[in-house]
Amino acid sequence: MDWHRRKVLLTGGASFIGSHLLDVLVQRGAQVRVIDDLSSGKLENIRRHLSNGKVEFVQADLKEPGTAERAVEGMSVVFHLAADHGGRGYVDLHQAACATNLVLDGNVFRACYRAKVDKIVYASSGCVYPNHLQANPEEVVYLTEDMVGPPYDADNMYGWAKLMGEMTLQSYYRDWGMKSASCRYFTVYGERGHENHAVIAMIARAFVGQDPFVVWGSGEQIRNWTHVSDIVRGTVLAAEKIEDGTAVNLGTMERTRVMDAVKEVLEYTGRQAEIELRPDMPTGPMNRVADNSLAKKLLNWEPEVKFYEGLHGTIDWYFSTKDREEVRAVLDQRLTERSAGTSPTTDSTKQKLATNYTKHARA
Ligand SMILES: NC(=O)c1ccc[n+]([C@@H]2O[C@H](COP(=O)([O-])OP(=O)(O)OC[C@H]3O[C@@H](n4cnc5c(N)ncnc54)[C@H](O)[C@@H]3O)[C@@H](O)[C@H]2O)c1
Pairing verdict, β 222-223 and 213-216: unpaired
Identify the band that residue 353 occupies on the pLDDT scale cut at 50, 70 and 90.
Answer: low
Query: 99 alpha carbon to ligand 1 midpoint, in Å?
Result: 14
Q: Are 291 and 231 in contact (CB under 8 A)?
A: no
Identify the band that residue 339 occupies on the pLDDT scale cut at 50, 70 and 90.
Answer: confident
Pairing verdict, β 226-227 and 256-257: unpaired
In angstroms, rounded to a whole number, what is the distance separating the alpha carbons of residues 133 and 121?
27
Summarize pLDDT for 112-130 with one digit per residue, the tens: 999 999 999 999 999 999 9
Query: 138 alpha carbon to ligand 1 midpoint, in Å?
Result: 31
Query: Where do the domains of the chain lie?
Result: 7-357
Mean pLDDT of the chain: 94
* pLDDT value of residue 54: 84
- Residue 148 pLDDT > 70, yes or no? yes
How far CA 165 is from CA of 85, 183, 201, in Å, comes to 14, 11, 28
Identify the band that residue 346 occupies on the pLDDT scale cut at 50, 70 and 90.
Answer: low
In angstroms, rounded to a whole number, what is the distance separating the alpha carbons of residues 108 and 164?
13
Residue that wins the pLDDT comparison between 352 and 329: 329
Summarize pLDDT for 261-279 with one digit per residue, the tens: 999 999 999 999 999 999 9
What is the arithmetic mean of pLDDT over 344-356? 58
Lining ligand 1 with CB less than 6 A are 12, 14-18, 35-41, 61-63, 81-85, 104, 123, 125, 185, 187-188, 197
Percentage of the chain exceeding pLDDT 70? 93
Closest ligand 1 atom to Cα of 188 = 3
What is the arithmetic mean of pLDDT over 185-212? 97
- Residue 109 pLDDT > 70, yes or no? yes
* pLDDT value of residue 174: 98
What is the arithmetic mean of pLDDT over 153-182? 98
Task: Give residue 195's identity as a one-letter amino acid code.
Answer: E
Summarize pLDDT for 225-242 with one digit per residue, the tens: 999 999 999 999 999 999
Summarize pLDDT for 25-50 with one digit per residue, the tens: 999 999 999 999 999 999 999 999 99
DSSP 125-181: EGGGS-GGGG--TTS---B-GGG--SSP--SHHHHHHHHHHHHHHHHHHHHH---EE
Q: In what order do the strands lie in the sheet with 55-59?
A: 55-59, 31-36, 7-11, 77-80, 119-125, 180-185, 244-250
7-357 folds as Rossmann fold (3.40.50)
Query: Between 198-207 and 307-321, two packed helices, what is the crossing angle to 10 degrees?
Result: 50
What is the arithmetic mean of pLDDT over 139-162? 97
Query: 102 alpha carbon to ligand 1 midpoint, in Å?
Result: 14
